[in-house]
């Protein structure tokens, strides 16, 4: 079986698919991962064939204030970004077809995509092969169990939760014309009913939807179709040749376990001001801390005897050695904190992050969510105190990690892919 994986987004949107490719290869299949060019080294370091997609839309989000503008600028900022994105994605669509038709994905038997590439189901239609959605977030399949996780939604009666998934129509409104033009000009495909619905294939049949989420964290809703499953997390195995930086290892061993504080690729409107509030919280609580700059989330050059500053470090190596994890609520970081069994403070910016913040709190492993708009030194210090002094939160986080570690999500995903191709 030859599998073409198409994924787009931040590291948390790419790494699980690299893990999936590795397991497929271990079972004797061929797999290639097409992702933004910045992730070439991540993919190839794991021995997986890489197909390059344009970085354009991500480069827009690299601008320090871009995410902050969307998070704090209300509907006007979201509409302004939506107007710019379709043109940015034209090259992504072209690259995806190049990879699938003549590049490393040529001859694929199945296309696995995370939805954000947008090209996945259309390429599968052109090649007349199955498409499979692989998702780190349960955002496509409507359910009464919880509201649409892709955006913060006010608390509603449970009977109205399914209606919130109409939010997925925003993709069609934003990208529909761009995709239709690409379908016609590059793929030579005619218009068809439900062509923009990734939940059905070009024959009108429901497609498999594999959620790379532990059912211990989000139980599978009872009202989902049989084609939608919670497989468990897709995690790369640890590599013997990867270790924490020596100076960080020394810092970790020099005193009480520190708190990890990092917001990944999420850069607020004013990273310097955010950094001042974070440092204020560290000083108020008297803790030691590892501060991760990420891609501009925190603006700090160096620390002191209580604060160690890092860029990107492997979460699976660092998180088990800290006392708590303060993060933005990205799906990948949330999963890593859960697997490490550490209590959390989640400070969401946008999109699915409030969903994960609320979910972690409801599971008893995190303090009440603290949105970036309301983050101050005293509020962050208060939440840190609440998790660091609460034995129940620590115990619950440890117990949840034990349950999650019994999952073999990638194995379940591979089995479903093999079935999809054999049908």
pLDDT, tens digit (0-9, with 9 covering 90-100), for 306-357: 999 998 888 999 999 999 999 999 999 999 999 999 999 999 988 899 999 9
Answer whether 248's CB lies under 8 Å from 290's CB. yes
Q: Report helix, strand or coil for 34.
A: strand
Mean pLDDT of the chain: 90
**HSE of 26, CA atoms in CB hemisphere, 13 A:** 13
Q: What domains sit in the chain, N to C, each tagged with a CATH number? A: 2-233+407-422 (3.40.50.2000), 246-404 (3.40.50.2000)
* Nearest to 150, CA basis, from 368, 331, 327: 331
Q: Report helix, strand or coil for 292.
A: strand
What gap in Å lies between CA 94 and CA 100, rounded to an integer? Answer: 10
Distance of CA 408 to the CA centre of its chain: 19
Top-confidence residue, 88 or 98 = 98
Sort 305 into a burial class: Cβ within 10 Å, 0-12 / 13-18 / 19+.
Answer: exposed
C-alpha R_g of the chain = 21
The beta strand positions in 217-320, using DSSP E, are 228-230, 259-262, 289-292, 307-310
Q: For 163-216, what is each residue's pLDDT tens digit?
A: 999 988 888 888 999 999 999 999 999 988 888 899 999 999 999 999 999 999
pLDDT of residue 81: 56
User: Which segment, 58-67, 167-176, 205-214, 286-295, is predicted with the most confidence on average?
Assistant: 205-214
Length of the chain: 423
Three-state SS string over 150-210 comes to CCCCCCCCHHHHHHHHHHHHHHHHHHHHHHHHHHHHHHCCCCCCCCCCCCECCCCCECCEE
- Residues 6 or more apart in contact with residue 13 via CB below 8 angstroms: 7, 114, 116, 136, 331, 332
Q: For 377-400, what is each residue's pLDDT tens digit?
A: 999 999 999 999 999 999 999 999
Q: For 129-164, what is each residue's pLDDT tens digit?
A: 999 999 999 999 999 999 999 887 777 788 899 999
* Nearest to 151, CA basis, from 132, 134, 170: 170
- State pTM to two decimals: 0.90
pLDDT of residue 297: 66
pLDDT of residue 208: 97
Q: Report helix, strand or coil for 299.
A: coil
Which position has the token pair 């040749």? 241
Share of the chain above pLDDT 70, in %: 92
C-beta neighbour count of 37 within 10 angstroms = 13
**HSE of 214, CA atoms in CB hemisphere, 13 A:** 25
């Amino acid at each position: 079986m030859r599998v073409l994986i198409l994924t787009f987004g931040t590291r948390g949107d790419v790494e699980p698919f690299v893990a999936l490719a590795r397991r497929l290869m271990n079972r004797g299949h061929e797999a290639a991962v097409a992702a933004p060019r910045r992730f070439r080294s991540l993919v190839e370091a794991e021995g997986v064939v890489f197909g390059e997609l344009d970085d354009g839309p991500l480069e827009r989000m690299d601008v320090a204030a871009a995410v902050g503008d969307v998070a704090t600028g209300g509907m006007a900022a979201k509409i302004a970004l939506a107007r710019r994105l379709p043109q940015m994605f034209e090259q992504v669509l072209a690259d995806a077809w190049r990879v699938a038709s003549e590049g490393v994905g040529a001859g694929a038997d199945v296309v696995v995509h995370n939805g954000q590439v947008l090209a996945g189901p259309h390429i599968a239609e052109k090649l007349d092969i199955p498409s499979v959605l692989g998702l780190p977030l349960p955002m496509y399949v409507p359910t009464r169990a919880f509201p649409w996780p892709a955006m913060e939604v006010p608390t509603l009666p449970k009977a109205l939760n399914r209606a919130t998934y109409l939010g997925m129509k925003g993709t069609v409104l934003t990208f529909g014309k761009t995709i239709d033009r690409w379908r016609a000009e590059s793929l030579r495909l005619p218009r068809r009913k439900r062509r923009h619905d990734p939940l059905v294939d070009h024959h009108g049949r429901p497609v498999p939807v594999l959620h790379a989420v532990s059912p211990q964290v989000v139980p599978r809703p009872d009202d989902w179709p049989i084609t939608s499953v919670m497989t468990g997390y897709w995690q790369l195995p640890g590599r013997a040749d990867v270790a924490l930086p020596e100076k960080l290892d020394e810092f970790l061993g020099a005193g009480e376990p520190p708190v990890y504080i990092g917001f990944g690729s999420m850069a607020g409107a004013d990273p310097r001001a955010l950094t001042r509030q974070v440092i204020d919280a560290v000083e108020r609580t008297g803790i030691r801390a590892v501060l991760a700059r990420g891609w501009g989330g925190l603006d700090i050059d160096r620390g002191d005897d209580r604060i160690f500053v890092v860029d990107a470090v492997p979460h699976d190596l660092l998180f088990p050695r800290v006392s708590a994890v303060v993060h933005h609520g990205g799906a990948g970081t949330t999963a890593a904190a859960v697997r490490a069994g550490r209590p959390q403070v989640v400070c969401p910016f946008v999109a699915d992050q409030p969903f994960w913040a609320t979910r972690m709190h409801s599971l008893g492993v995190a303090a009440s969510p603290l949105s970036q708009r309301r983050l101050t030194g005293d509020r962050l210090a208060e939440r840190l105190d609440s998790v660091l002094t609460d034995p129940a939160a620590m115990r619950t986080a440890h117990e949840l990690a034990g349950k999650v570690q019994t999952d073999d999500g990638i194995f379940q995903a591979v089995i479903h892919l093999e079935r999809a191709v054999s049908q």
